[in-house]
Structure 1
Amino acid sequence: MDQGAYLALAAALTVLGAIWTWVAFRRRGLGAGVKALGWTLLAPAAYLTGLLRAGGRIVDAIADWAARLVFSPTVWVGFGIAALAIVLIFLARVLPTKERPRRAARKAAGAAPAGAAGPASVAAPRTAKGPVIDDDDDDMADVNDILKKYGIS
């Protein structure tokens, strides 16, 4: 649309708003009339600041996107691929996974004699130096190893 079309749109919206303002003022009083006048003045303000033209560009862009969405086979292939990806992600949650043995279990299995089965982890006694860190958790075992390396724990 050209500048004259936006001016005509702003003028039409302002005239309709002025009629609405007059009706609101006559039927519901001063408060409703002032509120309607505020809404009415938004149309010329949008025209003068350029927001009416920007809004027109946004509406045009959305309309072009929607037309391309409906009539383009490549867009539908993209939606199909996205749907397949989502189905695979949720399907992966249901399928069984191969779990790796925990670090503490691997250490205990390596340290124990061939025929003896020992506990997966043994908690260290509580000392005055700090809290006991359980070796069951891989992350905490790494932290515990670092602390032991520097003589903190």
Structure 2
Amino acid sequence: MLTSTVCAAVSAAGLGIALVTAYRKRFRAAIRLAAWSLIPVGLVMTGVVDWLTGLVLKPTVWAGFGVLALSALLFLAGRAADRRSGGRKERRAAAGAPGREVVAPAASAPSLGPARRKKPASGASGASGDEDFSDIEAILKKHGI
């Protein structure tokens, strides 16, 4: 009941300020003030204020918030302890479980397929590789590099 009266008083004050603002020919600001000042009355009429006051003034609700805060602190303490002890990798290595040191050991090799990775056995193929480099060298000399 008291919250409904306070919300009605706040809305009435806001509407009064909006009227004064409209009298000063600032209509857009007056419309915004009127919109903001009607919110408390609307919340009272829909029952949201009664729900909020029931939520705030009940001791069991505050106890529930305390339990949630304790749970969050325990999660944070567990993460801090896990970081300090070295985490899961050291525990896995200490237990003797096989762990992956490298995700993809052949990742530095180009993905050209098995046919192109093999080195050519004949000397003629090696000469074509030198020709490729000579072309590149010619291009670089042409540009003065």
- TM-score interval w.r.t. the shorter chain? 0.3 to 0.5
TM value normalised by structure 2: 0.47
TM-score (norm: length of structure 1): 0.45
Return the index of the structure with the highest Cα Rg.
2
